[in-house]
Amino acid sequence: MATLSLLLLPPSPSSSSCYSTSLRRLALSLPPPLRPRRACAAAAPRILAQSVPSALTQDDLKKLAAEKAVEYVSSGMVLGLGTGSTAAFVVAEIGALLASGKLSDIVGVPTSKRTFEQAQSLGIPLSTLDDHPHINLAIDGADEVDPNINLVKGRGGALLREKMVEAASDKFIVVVDETKLVTGLGGSGLAMPVEVVQFCWKYNLRRLQELFKEEGCEAKLRLDGDGKPYITDNSNYIVDLYFKTPIKDALGAGKEISAFEGVVEHGLFLDMASTVIIAGKDGVSVKSRLISVEAA
């Protein structure tokens, strides 16, 4: 049987109320409430660790993280359904729970065409932000997670729809395996995507590379399997940025990228995730920003 251990930081005077409330709820083994919250501390996040068997594959770890995330789902919710290999495990688990009757009255808002197709095949009722502009909970993967649970997302090509859906959610849970953890965004050396309009994309590619020349950035147009420009669900191109060193100021970088005419969206998801579930060889851990709980 898996063992559970709980590590909680001592409360500061400014956060004692939210600390004691969180402790009572955790002691009762209740999932965090999924209503809007306000931040009450900027200290290190709460951590819950659960052991797992050894010799698991990366897909096994993703599945464990996905199963833990779905514990936060309740009947009657409007859910943001993420895109990517880890998010696919989440969608599959939700479909199975609906089929078994353990969940009911779920409405999913998919973040890509392929998530739409997977969810539809599993019988998950689907809608859009137009019809459900208020989402209770979004669950998605991430390409990078820094110590402050800021993210790089979009290597799957769905960053624009992901950001729209997740920004509309009361709570955004991220599921990853431990290989996605970095000390600073861009630190993996893999792509940080920027979605751009097709018109004069080379012009924006050059501007993006120049913007990050101090980080040794290389900008490349993303290509599909046939060697043609990759086209997003919104008929745009993606310029992938490859950094030799982590981005020094992610918040400032995001603002500067967004200021370029012709840039649609970037893959820096900053101050958006409320909880990150991480599966690794030492177990499954849950990191959350410290939050206050509304009175029942």
Residue 250: HSE in the Cβ half-sphere, 13 Å Cα cutoff: 24
Contact 82, 135 (CB under 8 A): no
b/e per residue 113-150 (b: at least 16 CB within 10 A)? ebbbebbeebebebeeeeebeebbbbbbbbbbbbebbb
Q: State how far the alpha carbon of 15 is from the alpha carbons of 19, 50, 272, 290, 293, in Å.
A: 6, 26, 21, 9, 12
How many other C-beta atoms can be found within 10 angstroms of the C-beta atom of residue 71? 12
- Examine the residue annotation and report whether 261 is marked as an active-site residue of this protein: no
Contact 236, 197 (CB under 8 A): yes
Which of 53, 56, 129, 122 has its CA nearest to residue 88?
122
Amino acid letter, residue 177: D
Catalytic pick from 144, 162, 166, 265? 162
Which of 192, 193, 186, 207 has its CA nearest to residue 262?
207
b/e per residue 221-235 (b: at least 16 CB within 10 A)? ebeeeeeeebebeee
Which of 68, 95, 64 has its CA nearest to residue 79?
95
Residues catalogued as catalytic:
162
